[in-house]
Amino acid sequence: MALLDSLFGKKKKEFRASCRITKEPLEKGYGYLLTTSQIVSSKKYWDLVMTEPETLSYTVSHFKNQTSGTQMRSMIFEKYASIDKPWIISDSVINYFEVDKSTAKENAKKWWELEGNYLPSNTGSAGSTLDPQTFQTWKNYAILEAGRGRIN
């Protein structure tokens, strides 16, 4: 087998990716590439995250004024806001974000070409790429308000 490998070369493993939000697999060259700042700056995204089956109980607790629910929502926000790599996302969730889709699609193509090693400008955690006031506004929405319309 080693002789055959040396004659023909080992086949390089194909680069694959799946949507950071839905986990659905993406075909090479498809999707959109967003920064963490773009992700956390979306009410629709936070409404989705805070009402998923895994997080719904925290949201219900939060709106019943239970501090444990609010603390968990804060931890969820920090988990996502601290991601410093860009997010490859699918067509099914791009409309959750108010972004220039053509730029996001071009960035995704570059990301695919470089097998996930392309970093668009403003890449980094939301706390380091958003101004403090904007960051706090989104943090407050995510922790204090997201999902209210789906609970009440």
Is 4 a domain residue? no
Instruction: Tell me, rounded to whole angstroms, the distance of Cα 18 from its chain centroid.
Output: 11
The mean pLDDT of 97-116, rounded to a whole number, is 97
Residue 102 in any domain: the answer is: yes
Asked whether the predicted pLDDT for residue 11 surpasses 90, the reply is no
- Residue 121 sits at the vertex; the CA angle it makes with 117 and 123, to the nearest 5 degrees, is 65
Between 132-140 and 67-81, two packed helices, what is the crossing angle to 10 degrees?
140
Does the residue 85 lie in any domain? yes
What is the residue range of 19's domain? 15-151
Q: What is the pLDDT of residue 151?
A: 81
Mean pLDDT score across all residues of the chain? 93
Query: Looking at the domain assignment, is residue 3 inside a domain?
Result: no
pLDDT tier, 14 (very low <50, low <70, confident <90, very high otherwise): confident
- 5 domain residue, yes or no: no
pLDDT of residue 9: 61
The pTM is what? Answer: 0.88
pLDDT value at residue 25 = 97
- On whether residue 24 sits in a domain, the answer given is yes
Confidence at residue 13, expressed as pLDDT on a 0 to 100 scale:
81
Higher pLDDT, 8 or 32: 32
Quote the number of domains for the chain: 1
Q: What is the predicted pLDDT for the residue at 152?
A: 65
Residue 8 has pLDDT above 80, yes or no: no
With respect to residue 136, please indicate whether it lies within any of the assigned structural domains.
yes
CA separation (Å) from 42 to 73, 96, 97, 138? 16, 7, 6, 8
The string of pLDDT tens digits covering residues 29-88 is: 999 999 999 999 999 999 999 999 999 999 999 999 999 999 999 999 999 999 999 999
> Which helix (H) or strand (E) is 146 found in, with range?
none
Burial class (CB in 10 A: 0-12, 13-18, 19+), 106: middle
- pLDDT, position 4: 53
Question: Residue 5's pLDDT is what?
Answer: 56
% of the chain exceeding 90 in pLDDT: 88
In a domain, 8, yes or no: no
